[in-house]
Chain A
C-alpha cells in the first residue's frame, strides 16, 4: 500500500493564481481531511469528507474548495491564491471520523 500520497511536494504561486493540491489514499478509508500547518500554530482543519460525494467545512475553509467523487481521491482547490495561504498542507485519512488518521507527506505552498 502507498498509504496517503500528495502532489506536488512543493509549489510556488503568484497572488491570484489557482491550483489543485492532489491527495489519494489506497486504504479504502471513508474519512479524508485537509489541514494546514503554520509556524507556532497547531494543524487546522480546512475541509473534510466522510465518504464519496459528501464534504463539509472545517475550521478555516475560506479560499478553498474540495470535492470527493471517489473514495480514493480528495483534491483541494485554491481558487485565487493569496499570501495568507502560504503554508504546509497535509491530507489525512482514516477508516472513520473516530479513528486515528494517516497523514500524507505534505505540500509546501508559497504564495508570492
Chain B
C-alpha cells in the first residue's frame, strides 16, 4: 500500500463546478504539499501545510493531522485548471524524505 493515496485518480468536471481532491497518508509528517503539473510537464508548488487551512485565489487546501487527511478544493473551476494535482508529504523522520501520491488528473470542460 502506498504511503500517500489520492482520490479520485481521474476527475472530469464542467466549468464552474466545485472540485475536491482528497489525499490520505499513513506516515508521520512535518508538512504536506499540493503540487500542480501542467500538461506540458512543469510542476508548480501550490501549497505547503502543516495544520489548518490555506487559501490562494480559487484554491483552498485543508489538512486534518489527526485523521491524516488533506483536501484540495477548487471553486468556480475553469478549463485552465486542467492539470494533474499531486499530494506530497514530508516524512517526519531522520531523512525528512518526500513521499508523493500518484496524482489526480483533472479535466475541466467548457
Residues of A within 8 A of B (CB): 33, 35, 40-45, 56, 58-59, 88, 90, 92, 97-103, 105-106, 108
Contact = CB atoms under 8 A, between A and B. Distances in A.
Given A42-B86, A43-B86, A105 B97 contact: no
Interface stretch (B38-46, B58-66, B74-82): B38-46
A43 B41 CA distance: 13
Given A98-B30, A98-B31, A100-B33, A44 B44 contact: no
Nearest to A41: B102
Contacts, number: 51
B42 A43 contact: no
Interface string B89-104: 0100001111111110
Majority DSSP secondary structure for residues of B touching A: strand
Contacts of B86: 42-43
Contacts of B33: 100-101
Contacts of A33: 98
- The number of chain B residues touching the other chain, given as a range, is 20 to 34
B26 interface: no
Interface of B: 2, 4, 30-31, 33, 35, 41-45, 48, 86, 88, 90, 95-103
A106 B42 CA distance: 7
Given A98-B31, A103-B42, A105-B41, A45 B48 contact: no
B97 A42 contact: no
Contacts of A105: 41-42
Given A44-B100, A58-B97, A100 B48 contact: yes
A101 B102 contact: no
Nearest to B34: A100
